[in-house]
Structures are given as structure tokens and as C-alpha cells.
């Protein structure tokens, strides 16, 4: 035999009831079908009862709505003649409840008995209607079999009597036997109810009594999910759980079953199968007591509860005093306040409990009252309550005796800036629960889910600033590489925001990358850096990365706040790293302390790996003695391209068009770009330096730099074409070349021209290439040499892309 229970949504309309019919008719085994009331009906009945109690005659309208709802369902399910007969019988049931509601209305008073009759009425009607669907089906009135007794003022199932009565009719069972859920009767044969999760309970009691092979709970979800799918879009259905795991997950918010109701089947080891009425093909979740191999998933699911508060009682006078915890919990119990989580450090200096926020004020008053004497004596000095909190719990039997689970859990929280207020783990090691701010719940859940369920798959949430030469190429790379990254590196790049100086567009669910620039300009809102930054922070997404592909000062000023909010920064913009040493150092320290990344490899040499190898040398204990380099793609392109037919002014424009120069090429031609680069390298090599410490000879005379605009500059610089060509020719005649170099030696940096002959390692440096020679303690005689393309949209975007990927390497 199988017991199938269908919940309110499964019997919520004629369409869904037809699905139930199909599911039932497809079964070969003998069945007990337990049904809830039609979705929403129990609430309506309780509403009608409450209105009647207040003497409000709209209670009868509410009852009429309920009747109408059932009439519609009957009309849609059955042919006219049969429908008439069913309606007639249903009318009799409605007359019964209508009489009771009238009585309540007249007396403006409701008894426990009438309340039970009214609230369980929905199951009586739904079970009657559904029993008529099956040929030869039989309706059993649960109240005749499920017996309750008052235990401490609460209707509690009398298992002995219930079992006896159910077994008495076992031989009368047919193929399809319908029982209303939730409803029961006491010793005086007065109607009672089984409380929350009542229909599950009815089904579990019947399954246990008849030793059913399985209890199937048919609901509107595919089963237990790894996390709440409304919060974690990538949550998936768990195929197997142990009873304890299912109970833990349910306890912590997964509303698939109500834990106490499964006890009868748990005791008899009857498996429970959670199935979806609206997607019966889905495998569902099987709950039984089979142990899963230890190597299998340690964590089965993540649950969460929100709208809770953290109450903490603290005082030196609590240390070593017995009875403090007992008094705290007693004070909560007195007012039926449910304690969701308890945490106490071994110092005994404080105890924290989590309770529903709705009762937090009351709870504080109760604790203050209980510890009045201790407060007066300063033995208890603080009773605090943190509201807007949430509890996250990870659940899994195989966590037991497995090291590293909590390490991984809390490490992932820390890296994403999720502060943990309290932790609880029972000795059963089945559940680790911790308290976070409710605003961090989504991020926390995402982070845990990623860490334990999708560790083969990391999502990086990107916020792109700048859609110019480099930014545009980066978007192209993201678009082209995404699939490969997902398949080969298990990395998903999600662009959650994009802005340039004109428009911005954000969506925490991710934007469509293909055509994103057109969408930005067509549908984006007006750009506003403050709003953009605030939204990035407010979304609070795990693995958030802001990528700066601008040359803008204001953007560089948002990095500190972002890093402080646990958001990584990847930047091609050199302003932050080459501004004041203190702020540069602060950015790096903040990133380190917050466990996020601040990466700027493209600041020197574009796509060439220079900062990374330099860092590696320094970290390995090497000392950088000397750096000699050509660090400007633009200026190297100019010295390599200018000749008698191609004047300087023309080549400057060409370098800009080729994407080598800064947005304003004067930054290159003044030497500033190279100054910034050698400064960054000097700092990364361990020297505390400022831009003003660097001697610089500009690439073109200073007077041109003083032009009011770039346009003026381009006009004026033409007059310098001749002198520049003259110098180049003289050097060429002497077998020499001009390079614009940078040098760091003995803590002193210089930037300017160097004239070199063919023996010099920079002599053959072609096009826009860069070169750097690193002399260190380990590379003394033969310097480390890094050489290659030093500018250009493609290589720079590739460098930025590589930095983004590095963020995933934790």
C-alpha cells in the first residue's frame, strides 16, 4: 500500500484536481489518498469565524465565497447530472457549517469545539468531492479514526486508540481510499484538529498504521532544494535525504514538510517521497534512513530564517553562576517565546539567543524582569537586542567527523564581508547555524551555496566602468570567452553593471553581454557615479568586481570604499596606484585585510606580466637593485615610426588611433605616463616613493604641454616636427637610436631620453613594444628580461581579463 497526501495547492482548482486524479489512477498499488482543503479555504473559514465572533455579518459573504469556489470546482469536474448530486450533498455540509457560524455570530463568542469544526470543514468538503472522482473510490471520515486526547491543554494524538480504529477498518479498504487530512475527534467525539501540518500528520499516521511501503507528499515544488530557490536561482532539487536532514532543513525554513508530522513514519522507517503534482516527472526527494557513503556530499542543503532578532545577555556576574541559562529560557517559555538558536561562549560571560523579531521587545522586558536583581547589582550589565537578523544553517549527516567544513564555511563568509554575529553547532554535527544581518542573507546564502554545491563553478559579478578603447575590447573578450571559461575553468562571468560617462545600466541578475553597448546607450539611465557605486554595494553580491577602464580621477577615488565593502577592484587606470603613497598603500592593505583583490597588472606594460613577476621576486625574499625599462608603447611607437616622410605630429595621431596612447596623448608626451609606471614599479619593489621624487625630462618640450586644449596642442606641436626629425637623423647617422626610458637605481628614479647603440638591449625594440630589465640580488649578472607588446586595446583588455580571472583564484 501507498499513502499519497495532496496539499492545498494540489487541490486548489479543478485543473490541479484533474492532475491529482491522473496521478492516483496511474498507481497500481492500493492507495490511501489524504487531501487538504482547497487552497486558501481554511484561511477563509477562519476569517469567517473571526468576523462572526465580532458580529460582522459579512462573515456570511465569506462563507458564500467558499461555497461558490467549491461549486465552480464541482461544475468543472463533473458532468451536469453528477454535479447536481454532488452539489446537493455539499449543500448539506455547508448547512452544517453555516449553522455553526450563525451561532457564533449571534453569541459573538466562539468555542474551541466550533472553531475546530469550522476550520476543518475545508477538508471535509474537498475529500468528499475528490472521493467522487474515482470509480469505486471510498471516503473515510478521518474524525472517526484519528483520535486525540488533551495533554497539557493541547489536542494530542492518541496513537493507541487511533491505530486500533484504523486497523478495524483495514479490511474495508478498497483500491482508492480518500481520507480528509487535519481533522480528528476527541474522546467525547467532538471534532478536533491536528494543528500545523495537520494533513501531513494524518497521512503519516495512516501510513505508519497500515505499514505502507511509502508515504508520498505531493506538493507544488519538486522536492527539497539545496537552498531557497527564490533567493538562489541555481538551487537544485536534492534527490535523497535522511530523516534527520529533512527535519533539520524543515526546521530552518524549508517548508516542504513540518517536522513533527513525520515522526510516525520515521519510527517505522517508512520512506517519504516528496513529489510535485504539477511536475510529476521530476524525481522528487526521497527521505529514508539509508546512510549515504561518506565520500558523498557532506552538505545536503542550506536553510535560512529571517525576521529574527539576536538577544544577548551579558555580564561578568554570570561567570560560573549556575541557573542563568535555565532562568533565561524559563522566562522565554513562560510567554511561549520560541528560541530558535542558542550560543554561549565557554567564558560564560554572555548568552545569545535568536527569537522572532515580532516578540523581541517582549523578550527583552521578560529578561530584564527575570534578572532585575542582577542588573541592580551590575552582575548583568547588558541586555541587547540586534534586530533585522537572519539565521543560515548548513545541514548534512556526513559533516560528522569531517574536518574543514566550518573552516570552508566561515572562510567563504569572511572573504565576502559577511559578518557573523553568533554560531551554533550541536554535538551531532548535523547542522551548523550562524547569525548574520538580514541584509547579508542573500549574499551569505549565495556564498555558501557556491562553496558547497557549486564549487566546480564560480560566479564573478562584474561591474564595468569605461567603454572606450580598452573597455570595448574587454566586453568583446567577455562575450567571446564566457562559454570556454564556464566549460573549462568552471567560471561564470556575469556582467551585473556597466557605465561610461553618459549612461549606466545595472541588473544584479546579470545583463545580456551580446549587444550590451547598444543596450546601454539605448536603454541605460543617465550615468551617476555615486548611484552606480551605491548600487554595487547594495546588491551585496558575492564575488563582486569593479573593473575600471577609464583614465578618470573620480573613479579611482571610489576604490577605497569598494574594497572596504569587500568588493574587488581590477583597474587599467593608473591614477590610484601612482597618486599619494599613503592612499596607494591603504588600498593594498584594505584589500589584504578584507580578503578581496586589488589588481592593476595592466598599469605597467599593458598585457605584459611585469608587476606579477616583480611581486614574486620580492615575496621570495629577493631585493630589487635596478630597473631599466622602456615603458611607453606610444613613445616607442613614435621613435620607431617617425622618419623623413612621417613627421612627429602625424605619428602622435596614429598612436592614438591605434589605441596606444592615453585618452589624452599629452599624458604620454609629457612623460607622465612613464613616471606613473616607474613609480608603481618602484613601490611594488618596496620603495616608498612619490611622483615628485622622480626626475623627468618630457618627450616634447614643456611649452607645448602648457597649451590650453588638446586641439591647440595638436596644432602647435607641428612646429616641433622638424627639430625632432633632425635629432633622429643625427642619431641614425651615428648608428644610434633614441629611446624614452625609465630607470630605478639605489632608490632613485629617472625618466627621459636615452641614446643607444646597437649593442644596447633596447636597440631592437620594435613598434609599440616595451621592455624591462630587472636586476636583483638573484638576477645580478644577467637581469630578468620581460619584453613584448606594451600598449594597445587588445593586449590591455587581455591583461584586465587575466586580472579578473585572478580574483577567482582564492
Ligand X SMILES: NC(=O)C1=CN([C@@H]2O[C@H](COP(=O)(O)OP(=O)(O)OC[C@H]3O[C@@H](n4cnc5c(N)ncnc54)[C@H](OP(=O)(O)O)[C@@H]3O)[C@@H](O)[C@H]2O)C=CC1
Question: Which listed option, ligand LTNE7NMQ, ligand X, none, makes contact with residue 634 (CB within 5 to 8 Å by class)?
Answer: ligand LTNE7NMQ
Is 626 annotated as catalytic? Answer: no
Measured CA to CA, the distance from residue 801 to residue 643 in angstroms comes to 36
DSSP tag of 717: G
What is the per-residue DSSP string for 402-462? Answer: -TTHHHHHHHHHHHTT----EEEE-TT-SEEEEEEEGGGHHHHHHHHHHHHT-TT-EEEEE
Regarding 500 and contact with ligand X (CB under 6 A), the answer is yes
Pairing of the two strands 350-356 and 341-344: antiparallel
Site mask, ligand LTNE7NMQ, residues 672-691, x = CB under 6 A?
-x------------------
Question: Which listed option, ligand X, ligand LTNE7NMQ, none, makes contact with residue 75 (CB within 5 to 8 Å by class)?
Answer: none
Query: From the list 157, 638, 796, 808, which residue makes contact with ligand X (rule: CB under 6 A)?
Result: 796
Regarding 467 and contact with ligand X (CB under 6 A), the answer is yes
Regarding 517 and contact with ligand X (CB under 6 A), the answer is no
Regarding 609 and contact with ligand X (CB under 6 A), the answer is no
Query: From the list 549, 558, 639, 642, which residue makes contact with ligand X (rule: CB under 6 A)?
Result: 549
Crossing angle of helices 121-131 and 112-119, in 10° steps, is 30
Measured CA to CA, the distance from residue 83 to residue 61 in angstroms comes to 23
**CB distance 215 to 265 below 8 Å:** yes
Query: From the list 552, 583, 640, 691, which residue makes contact with ligand X (rule: CB under 6 A)?
Result: 552
Backbone angles phi, psi at 722, to 5 degrees: -60, -50
Helices (H), 524-641: 529-539, 553-556, 559-564, 575-578, 581-594, 611-619, 633-641
Question: Which listed option, ligand X, ligand LTNE7NMQ, none, makes contact with residue 668 (CB within 5 to 8 Å by class)?
Answer: ligand LTNE7NMQ
Question: Which listed option, ligand LTNE7NMQ, ligand X, none, makes contact with residue 344 (CB within 5 to 8 Å by class)?
Answer: none
Regarding 502 and contact with ligand X (CB under 6 A), the answer is yes
Q: Is 566 helix (H, G, I), strand (E, B) or coil?
A: coil
Query: Other CB atoms closer than 10 Å to residue 245's CB: what's the count?
Result: 23
Q: Which set of grid coordinates corresponds to residue 234?
A: 541555481
Count of residues making up the chain: 810
Applying CB under 6 A, which part among 268-276, 571-579, 694-702, 710-718 lies near ligand X? 571-579
Site for ligand LTNE7NMQ in 741-800 (CB under 6 A): 790-791
Applying CB under 6 A, which part among 40-48, 197-205, 378-386, 566-574 lies near ligand X? 566-574
Applying CB under 6 A, which part among 64-72, 460-468, 525-533, 630-638 lies near ligand LTNE7NMQ? 630-638
Beta-carbon contacts of 414 under 8 Å, excluding residues fewer than 6 positions away, are 595
Measured CA to CA, the distance from residue 178 to residue 345 in angstroms comes to 52
Burial of 21: CB neighbours in 10 Å, binned 0-12, 13-18, 19+: middle
Measured CA to CA, the distance from residue 265 to residue 263 in angstroms comes to 6
Applying CB under 6 A, which part among 250-258, 371-379, 654-662, 735-743 lies near ligand X? 654-662
Question: Which listed option, ligand X, ligand LTNE7NMQ, none, makes contact with residue 440 (CB within 5 to 8 Å by class)?
Answer: none
713 alpha carbon, distance to own chain's centre:
51
Q: Smallest distance from the beta carbon of 660 to ligand LTNE7NMQ, in angstroms?
A: 5
Measured CA to CA, the distance from residue 337 to residue 540 in angstroms comes to 32
Beta-carbon contacts of 179 under 8 Å, excluding residues fewer than 6 positions away, are 32, 33, 34, 35, 127, 139, 140, 142, 145, 202, 206
Measured CA to CA, the distance from residue 237 to residue 645 in angstroms comes to 70
Q: Which helix or strand (DSSP H or E) is residue 775 part of? A: strand 769-776
What is the per-residue DSSP string for 758-774? Answer: TTSTTTT--TTEEEEEE
Which residue is it, cell 525554513? 253
**CB distance 698 to 706 below 8 Å:** no
Regarding 573 and contact with ligand LTNE7NMQ (CB under 6 A), the answer is no
Query: From the list 179, 660, 704, 713, which residue makes contact with ligand LTNE7NMQ (rule: CB under 6 A)?
Result: 660
Site mask, ligand X, residues 23-52, x = CB under 6 A?
------------------------------
Query: From the list 328, 606, 669, 717, which residue makes contact with ligand X (rule: CB under 6 A)?
Result: 606
Regarding 665 and contact with ligand X (CB under 6 A), the answer is no
What is the per-residue DSSP string for 336-364? Answer: TPPP-EEEE-TT-SEEEEEEEGGGHHHHH
Q: Smallest distance from the beta carbon of 631 to ligand LTNE7NMQ, in angstroms?
A: 7
Regarding 554 and contact with ligand X (CB under 6 A), the answer is yes
Nearer to ligand LTNE7NMQ, 275 or 787 (CB): 787
Query: From the list 155, 374, 662, 684, which residue makes contact with ligand X (rule: CB under 6 A)?
Result: 662
Q: Smallest distance from the beta carbon of 619 to ligand LTNE7NMQ, in angstroms?
A: 24
Regarding 668 and contact with ligand LTNE7NMQ (CB under 6 A), the answer is yes
Burial of 219: CB neighbours in 10 Å, binned 0-12, 13-18, 19+: buried
Q: Smallest distance from the beta carbon of 520 to ligand LTNE7NMQ, in angstroms?
A: 24
Q: Which set of grid coordinates corresponds to residue 676?
A: 606613473
Query: From the list 193, 632, 775, 776, which residue makes contact with ligand LTNE7NMQ (rule: CB under 6 A)?
Result: 632
Q: Say which of 2, 19, 503, 677 is annotated catalytic.
A: 677
Question: Which listed option, ligand LTNE7NMQ, ligand X, none, makes contact with residue 663 (CB within 5 to 8 Å by class)?
Answer: ligand X
Q: Side-chain half-sphere of 444: how many Cα atoms within 13 Å?
A: 27
Query: From the list 491, 572, 679, 694, which residue makes contact with ligand X (rule: CB under 6 A)?
Result: 572
Size of the site for ligand LTNE7NMQ (CB under 6 A): 11
DSSP tag of 280: T
Nearer to ligand LTNE7NMQ, 341 or 791 (CB): 791
Nearer to ligand X, 420 or 529 (CB): 529
- Dihedral of the CA atoms 549, 554, 557, 561 (nearest 10)? -90
Bridge partners of 788?
770
Tell me what percent of the chain is helix, strand and coil, each rounded to the nearest 5. Answer: 45, 20, 35
Regarding 660 and contact with ligand X (CB under 6 A), the answer is yes
Nearer to ligand LTNE7NMQ, 242 or 634 (CB): 634
Nearer to ligand LTNE7NMQ, 310 or 638 (CB): 638
Site mask, ligand LTNE7NMQ, residues 226-265, x = CB under 6 A?
----------------------------------------
Applying CB under 6 A, which part among 85-93, 232-240, 655-663, 712-720 lies near ligand LTNE7NMQ? 655-663
Residues that bind ligand LTNE7NMQ (CB under 6 A): 606, 632-634, 660-662, 668, 673, 790-791
Residues that bind ligand X (CB under 6 A): 465-471, 499-502, 527, 529, 549-552, 554-555, 572-574, 602, 606, 633, 659-660, 662-663, 791-793, 796
Please give the positions annotated as active site: 677
Amino acid at each position: 500500500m501507498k499513502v499519497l497526501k495532496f496539499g492545498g495547492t494540489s487541490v486548489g482548482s479543478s485543473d490541479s484536481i484533474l492532475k491529482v486524479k491522473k496521478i492516483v489512477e496511474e498507481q497500481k498499488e492500493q492507495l490511501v489518498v489524504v487531501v487538504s482543503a482547497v487552497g486558501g479555504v481554511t484561511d477563509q473559514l477562519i476569517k469567517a469565524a473571526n468576523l462572526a465572533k465580532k458580529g460582522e455579518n459579512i462573515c456570511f459573504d465569506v462563507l458564500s465565497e467558499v461555497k461558490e469556489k467549491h461549486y465552480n470546482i464541482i461544475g468543472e469536474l463533473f458532468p451536469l447530472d453528477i454535479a447536481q448530486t454532488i452539489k446537493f450533498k455539499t449543500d448539506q455540509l455547508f448547512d452544517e457549517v453555516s449553522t455553526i457560524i450563525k451561532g457564533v455570530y449571534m453569541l459573538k463568542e466562539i468555542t474551541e469545539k466550533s472553531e475546530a469544526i469550522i476550520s476543518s470543514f475545508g477538508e471535509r468538503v474537498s475529500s468528499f468531492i475528490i472521493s467522487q472522482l474515482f470509480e469505486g473510490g471510498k471516503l473515510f471520515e478521518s474524525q472517526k479514526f484519528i483520535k486525540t486526547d488533551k495533554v497539557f491543554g493541547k489536542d494530542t494524538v492518541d496513537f493507541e486508540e487511533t491505530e486500533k480504529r484504523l486497523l478495524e477498518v483495514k479490511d474495508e479498504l478498497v483500491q482508492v481510499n480518500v481520507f480528509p487530512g487535519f481533522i480528528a475527534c476527541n474522546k467525547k467525539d467532538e471534532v478536533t484538529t491536528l494543528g500545523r501540518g495537520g494533513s501531513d500528520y494524518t497521512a503519516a499516521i495512516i501510513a505508519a498504521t497500515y505499514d505502507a511501503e511509502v508515504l508520498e507528499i505531493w506538493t507544488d515544488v519538486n522536492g527539497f532544494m539545496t537552498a531557497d530557490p527564490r533567493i538562489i536561482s541555481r538551487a537544485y532539487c536534492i534527490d535523497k535525504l535522511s530523516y534527520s536532514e529533512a527535519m533539520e532543513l524543515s526546521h530552518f525554513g524549508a517548508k516542504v514538510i513540518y517536522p513533527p508530522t513525520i515522526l510516525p513514519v520515521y519510527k517505522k522507517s517508512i520512506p517519504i517521497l516528496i513529489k510535485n503534482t504539477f511536475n510529476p516527472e521530476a524525481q522528487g526527494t526521497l527521505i529514508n534512513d539509508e546512510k549515504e557513503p561518506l565520500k558523498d556530499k557532506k552538505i545536503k542543503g542550506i536553510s535560512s530564517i529571517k525576521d529574527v532578532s539576536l538577544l544577548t545577555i551579558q555580564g561578568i556576574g554570570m561567570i560560573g553562576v549556575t541557573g542563568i541559562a535555565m532562568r533565561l529560557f524559563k522566562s522565554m517559555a513562560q510567554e511561549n517565546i520560541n528560541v530558535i538558536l542558542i550560543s554561549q561562549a565557554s567564558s560564560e560571560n554572555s548568552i545569545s539567543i535568536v527569537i522572532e523579531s515580532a516578540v523581541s521587545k517582549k523578550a527583552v522586558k521578560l529578561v530584564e524582569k527575570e534578572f532585575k536583581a542582577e542588573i541592580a547589582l551590575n552582575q548583568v550589565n547588558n541586555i541587547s537586542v540586534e534586530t533585522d537578523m537572519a539565521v543560515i544553517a548548513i545541514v548534512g549527516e556526513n559533516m560528522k567527523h569531517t574536518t574543514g567544513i566550518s573552516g570552508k564555511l566561515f572562510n567563504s563568509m569572511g572573504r565576502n564581508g559577511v559578518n557573523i554575529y553568533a554560531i551554533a553547532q550541536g554535538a551531532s554535527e548535523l547542522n551548523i547555524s550562524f547569525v548574520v544581518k538580514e541584509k547579508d542573507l542573500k549574499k551569505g546564502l549565495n556564498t555558501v551555496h557556491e562553496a558547497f554545491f557549486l564549487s566546480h563553478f564560480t560566479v564573478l559579478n562584474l561591474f564595468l566602468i569605461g567603454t572606450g578603447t580598452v573597455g570595448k575590447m574587454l566586453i568583446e573578450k567577455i562575450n567571446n570567452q564566457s562559454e570556454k571559461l564556464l566549460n573549462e575553468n568552471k567560471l561564470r562571468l556575469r556582467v551585473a553593471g556597466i557605465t561610461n560617462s553618459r549612461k549606466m545600466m545595472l541588473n544584479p541578475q546579470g545583463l545580456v553581454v551580446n549587444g550590451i553597448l547598444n543596450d546601454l546607450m539605448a536603454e541605460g539611465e543617465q550615468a551617476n557615479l555615486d548611484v552606480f557605486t551605491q548600487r554595487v554595494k547594495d546588491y551585496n553580491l558575492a564575488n563582486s568586481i569593479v573593473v575600471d577602464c577609464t583614465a578618470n580621477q573620480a573613479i579611482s577615488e571610489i576604490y577605497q570604499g569598494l574594497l572596504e565593502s569587500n568588493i574587488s577592484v581590477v583597474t587599467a587606470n593608473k591614477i590610484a596606484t601612482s597618486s599619494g603613497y599613503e592612499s596607494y598603500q591603504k588600498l593594498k592593505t584594505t584589500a589584504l585585510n578584507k580578503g578581496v583583490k586589488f589588481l592593476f597588472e595592466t598599469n605597467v606594460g599593458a598585457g605584459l606580466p611585469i608587476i606579477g613577476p616583480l611581486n614574486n621576486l620580492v615575496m621570495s625574499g629577493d631585493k630589487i637593485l635596478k630597473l631599466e625599462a622602456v615603458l611607453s608603447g606610444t613613445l616607442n611607437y613614435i621613435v620607431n615610426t617617425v622618419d623623413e616622410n612621417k613627421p612627429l605630429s602625424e605619428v602622435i595621431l596614429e598612436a592614438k588611433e591605434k589605441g596606444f596612447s592615453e585618452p589624452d596623448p599629452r599624458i604620454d608626451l609629457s612623460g607622465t605616463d612613464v613616471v606613473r609606471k616607474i613609480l608603481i614599479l618602484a613601490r611594488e619593489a618596496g620603495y616608498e616613493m612619490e611622483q615628485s621624487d622622480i626626475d623627468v625630462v618630457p618627450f616634447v618640450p614643456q611649452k607645448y604641454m602648457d597649451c590650453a586644449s588638446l586641439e591647440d596642442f595638436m596644432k602647435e606641436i607641428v612646429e616641433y616636427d622638424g627639430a625632432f626629425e633632425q635629432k633622429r637623423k643625427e642619431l641614425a647617422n651615428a648608428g644610434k637610436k633614441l629611446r624614452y626610458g625609465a630607470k630605478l637605481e639605489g632608490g632613485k628614479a629617472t625618466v627621459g631620453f636615452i641614446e643607444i647603440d646597437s649593442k644596447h638591449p633596447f636597440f631592437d625594440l620594435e613598434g609599440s613594444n616595451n621592455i624591462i630589465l630587472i636586476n636583483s640580488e638573484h638576477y645580478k649578472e644577467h637581469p630578468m628580461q620581460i619584453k613584448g607588446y606594451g600598449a594597445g586595446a587588445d593586449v590591455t583588455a587581455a591583461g584586465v581579463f587575466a586580472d579578473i580571472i585572478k580574483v577567482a583564484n582564492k
